Amino acid sequence: HQTSPRHQNINPSHKNNLFDLIGSMVQNFGKKASASHILIKPTQLPADEAKAKLLEIKEAVANDAAEFARYAGEYSDCPSKAKGGDLGKFGPGMMVPEFDAIAFKEDVGVVHGPVSTSFGEHLILVTYRSGEGDDEE
């Protein structure tokens, strides 16, 4: 007697995302980060074109926060565009795993990406992270 195919084909990426999320929450417990992003949704441009556009923007911005905000206001497909892409402060596990990994593991003050998430393609500028040296709040 075989099990139904529905039970055999559990998507391992869903399970891995959950483990990544829990791992980030434990590893980064008590930390906060803030980031800005530029999002291009799949309804706006196909993924390949979105990535190409974001690479052009990344080159033009060159880690300049003011330029990043200007481009976010012009190109982002997220309501945060009204604030230059600023998402404010958040804790580990509050963002999708791909975004969370950038916010809590990658360099602050640097534009990262393009990063693919379930929302689309992003450039992410990590603007702050607590628990790194003397910047506790």
**In this predicted model, what pLDDT tens digit does every residue of 88-128 receive, in sequence order?**
999 988 999 999 999 999 999 999 999 999 999 999 999 99
**In this predicted model, what pLDDT tens digit does every residue of 45-82 receive, in sequence order?**
999 999 999 999 999 999 999 999 999 999 999 999 99
pLDDT for 9 equals 41
Other Cβ atoms within 10 Å of 130 Cβ, number? 16
Specify whether the CB–CB gap between 103 and 43 falls below 8 A: no
| pLDDT tops 60 at residue 136 | no
Residue type, 28: N
pLDDT for 132 equals 58
Q: pTM for the full model?
A: 0.78
